[in-house]
């Protein structure tokens, strides 16, 4: 049996527990182990030393199957995915918080306190995050004794913002309903004159209870739920979900399906990036680019419709493969040539944008995300790469057909709004190239395999690099091919905590611009 270099050191820590290693369906090694809670900090410190980054952290109510609660931490490290479990007391579940070692865990740990009542001890900020002030303090919807269709009564409560005090400091509350056509969230600006001193947010307005809804559902039915977590990341969420199910079942999907998934993922990235390139300009009132961007995005949406029958690519992916075949046809070749035309038009548009002094003036040095902050807080996707964090799951832990297409992962250095715009422009070019390669190399064959019965109470993850960054889906199977626990960590979940740090020092009118340059999704975060 092959061993990852980290296994020996891990075995010193997890004495008494087995360390399982096997080849993962997705990429490289998959290492799983359980450790006692009092060894958790040593372990994560070791992992951090080896350059591991946290993919997700999940709490599970396992009282009826294992007699307690479980917390699962999943890390990615060179060519491996590692899952560490700690088992917790059924009556007073708590464990030492890993946030002091790995700051990227801080929202995840606050969430498991909110949803499951598991207390991460030593966490620097245990205010509520996901449940609103009017939630009763003893209702934990992700516990198994809370019914999926349960009602949550309302209680009195106030939003808890850290006070920011001083002469001349004003609070500006904004939202949850905003003036434009955007998703809901509440922002609290603390300002001195026009300058923002501090920004805090109350999110989770669109919380629908997706994870709980998926529990107990057959995995094919839950795929429809995964598809509806977010509109603009439908394909990447569904593919991440499907990969987790395939990992549970130990199946490898046919080559053709892998290529088709790659095409779907890149089509999704493109319409998002192109839309965002135009839309960022709405933050500075550069109308030419707004409308040109919107036209190109609409063309891409229509290509999605012609390619798959759905503008948001829904209904195209299932666990085990894909539902659409993309057979060679004159329609397909015309779609490909239209893609090239869009590429050309996008190029013309961005050339004009990048030559506009007023655009550069507003965007450069605005809303800077420093590299260290991006790294420490675990920022992902375009936002991280615009701050020189060289991370991209498509290259680092390849899935679908990404091993077989050539592409570069561009990065920028400064981490300002302009870099995030430029990042999208550069990535868009790569997407066009990936698409043409994938169409060109599309192998013949089946597009779907059957998923055998799932062994209950096994865990697996699936992930994709969406337009916004890493979407990680963690699943524990239940009896009769159902899901026992489903946890979705979206790219926006990673990047939301980062945004408020980029605003202080900027003026309020720049907030919409900074916000648009991150293009965070509320539905993905709130679930």
Residues found near another protein in the complex (CB under 8 A)? 132, 141, 146-152, 176-177, 179-184, 204-210, 212-213, 221, 224-225, 228-232, 234, 275, 288, 291, 294-295, 297-298, 301-302, 305-306, 309-312, 314-315, 323, 348, 351-352, 355-356, 521-523
Do 389 and 364 meet the contact criterion of CB atoms below 8 Å apart? no
Report the helix count and the strand count for the chain, using DSSP H and E.
Answer: 19, 15
Question: What's the min distance (Å) between Cβ of 304 and another protein?
Answer: 10
Q: What are phi and psi of 66, to 5 degrees?
A: -130, 5
Question: What's the min distance (Å) between Cβ of 174 and another protein?
Answer: 12
Closer of 150 and 509 to another protein (Cβ): 150
- In a 13 Å sphere around the CA of 437, the CA atoms on its Cβ side amount to 15
Question: What's the min distance (Å) between Cβ of 209 and another protein?
Answer: 4
Residue by residue, DSSP assigns 125-175 as --S-SSS-TTS-TT--TTSTTS-TT-----------------TTEEEEEE-
In 162-215, where do the E strands start and end?
Answer: 169-174, 186-192, 195-202
Closer of 190 and 204 to another protein (Cβ): 204
What is the rounded distance in angstroms from the CA atom of residue 419 to the CA atom of residue 383? 9
Q: What are phi and psi of 508, to 5 degrees?
A: -50, -45
Q: Where are the alpha helices (DSSP H) in 386-527?
A: 393-396, 417-441, 491-495, 499-502, 511-518, 522-526
Closer of 289 and 494 to another protein (Cβ): 289
- In a 13 Å sphere around the CA of 498, the CA atoms on its Cβ side amount to 34
Could you tell me which residues are beta bridge partners of residue 471?
A: 464
Closer of 4 and 269 to another protein (Cβ): 269
What is the rounded distance in angstroms from the CA atom of residue 427 to the CA atom of residue 402? 15
Question: What's the min distance (Å) between Cβ of 401 and another protein?
Answer: 25
Question: What's the min distance (Å) between Cβ of 361 and another protein?
Answer: 13
Cβ density class 285-299: b for 16+ within 10 Å, e for less = ebeebbebbeebbeb
Closer of 5 and 150 to another protein (Cβ): 150
Question: What's the min distance (Å) between Cβ of 182 and another protein?
Answer: 7
Residue of 157, 71, 76 whose CA lies nearest to 121: 71
Question: What's the min distance (Å) between Cβ of 226 and another protein?
Answer: 10
Residue of 72, 64, 80, 74 whose CA lies nearest to 22: 80
Tokens of 122: 């030593």
What is the rounded distance in angstroms from the CA atom of residue 512 to the CA atom of residue 499? 12
Question: What's the min distance (Å) between Cβ of 219 and another protein?
Answer: 12
* Edge-to-edge strand ranges of the sheet holding 470-477: 459-465, 470-477, 483-489
Closer of 232 and 438 to another protein (Cβ): 232
Closer of 170 and 288 to another protein (Cβ): 288
What is the rounded distance in angstroms from the CA atom of residue 42 to the CA atom of residue 321? 40
What is the rounded distance in angstroms from the CA atom of residue 29 to the CA atom of residue 3? 8
Helix (H, G, I), strand (E, B) or coil at 413: coil
Closer of 125 and 351 to another protein (Cβ): 351
Question: What's the min distance (Å) between Cβ of 149 and another protein?
Answer: 5
Question: What's the min distance (Å) between Cβ of 158 and another protein?
Answer: 14
Question: What's the min distance (Å) between Cβ of 152 and another protein?
Answer: 6
Question: What's the min distance (Å) between Cβ of 427 and another protein?
Answer: 20
Question: What's the min distance (Å) between Cβ of 478 and another protein?
Answer: 17
Closer of 31 and 229 to another protein (Cβ): 229
Closer of 46 and 139 to another protein (Cβ): 139
CA angle (338 as vertex; 281, 242 as ends), nearest 5: 80
> What is the four-CA torsion angle of 299, 255, 380, 315, rounded to 10 degrees?
50
Question: What's the min distance (Å) between Cβ of 106 and another protein?
Answer: 22
Closer of 119 and 301 to another protein (Cβ): 301
Closer of 314 and 336 to another protein (Cβ): 314
Closer of 37 and 295 to another protein (Cβ): 295
CA 441 to chain centre: 29
Closer of 72 and 140 to another protein (Cβ): 140
Residue 437, phi-psi category: left (phi > 0), alpha (psi -120 to 50), beta (remainder): alpha
């Amino acid at each position: 049996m092959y061993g990852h270099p980290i296994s020996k050191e891990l075995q010193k820590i997890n004495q008494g527990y087995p360390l399982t290693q096997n080849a993962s369906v997705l990429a490289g090694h998959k290492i799983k182990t359980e450790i006692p809670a009092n060894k958790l900090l040593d372990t994560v410190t070791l992992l951090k030393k080896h350059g591991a980054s946290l993919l997700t952290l999940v709490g599970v109510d396992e009282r009826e199957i294992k007699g307690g609660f479980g917390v699962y931490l999943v890390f990615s490290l060179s060519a491996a995915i590692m899952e560490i479990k700690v088992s917790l007391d059924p009556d007073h579940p708590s464990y030492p918080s890993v946030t002091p070692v790995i700051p990227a865990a801080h929202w995840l740990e606050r969430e498991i306190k909110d949803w499951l009542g598991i207390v991460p001890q030593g966490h620097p900020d245990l205010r509520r995050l996901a449940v609103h002030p009017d939630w009763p303090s003893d209702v934990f919807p992700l516990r198994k004794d809370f019914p999926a269709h349960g009602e949550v009564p309302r209680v009195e409560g106030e939003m808890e913002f850290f006070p920011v005090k001083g002469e001349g400091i004003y609070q500006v509350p904004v939202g949850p309903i905003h003036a434009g056509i955007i998703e809901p969230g509440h922002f609290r600006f603390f300002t001195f004159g026009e300058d923002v001193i501090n920004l805090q947010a109350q999110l989770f307005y669109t919380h629908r209870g997706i994870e709980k809804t998926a529990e107990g559902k057959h995995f094919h039915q839950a795929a429809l739920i995964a598809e509806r977590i977010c509109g603009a990341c439908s394909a990447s969420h569904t593919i991440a979900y499907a990969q987790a199910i395939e990992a549970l079942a130990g199946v490898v999907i046919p080559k053709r399906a892998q290529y088709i998934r790659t095409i779907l993922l890149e089509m999704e990235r493109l319409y998002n990036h192109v839309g965002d390139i135009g839309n960022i300009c709405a933050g500075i009132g550069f109308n030419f680019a707004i409308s040109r961007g919107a036209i190109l995005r609409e063309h891409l949406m229509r290509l999605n419709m012609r390619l798959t029958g759905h503008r948001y690519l829904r209904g195209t992916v299932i666990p085990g493969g894909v539902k659409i075949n993309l057979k060679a046809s004159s329609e397909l070749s015309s779609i490909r040539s239209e893609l090239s035309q869009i590429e050309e038009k996008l190029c013309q548009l961005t050339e004009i944008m990048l030559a506009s002094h007023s655009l550069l003036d507003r965007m450069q040095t605005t809303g800077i995300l420093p590299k260290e902050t991006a790294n420490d807080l675990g920022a992902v996707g375009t936002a991280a790469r615009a701050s020189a964090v060289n991370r991209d799951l498509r290259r680092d832990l390849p899935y679908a057909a990404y091993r077989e297409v050539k592409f570069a992962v561009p990065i920028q250095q400064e981490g300002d709004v302009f870099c995030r715009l430029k990042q999208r422009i550069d990535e868009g070019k790569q997407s066009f190239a990936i698409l043409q390669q994938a169409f060109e190399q599309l192998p013949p064959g089946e597009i779907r395999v059957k998923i055998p019965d799932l062994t209950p109470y096994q865990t697996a993850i699936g992930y994709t690099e969406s337009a916004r960054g890493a979407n990680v889906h963690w699943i524990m199977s239940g009896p009769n091919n159902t899901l026992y626990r489903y946890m979705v960590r979206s790219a926006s979940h990673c990047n939301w905590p980062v945004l408020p740090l980029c605003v202080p020092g900027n003026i309020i009118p720049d907030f919409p611009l900074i916000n648009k340059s991150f293009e965070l999704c509320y539905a993905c975060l709130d679930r």
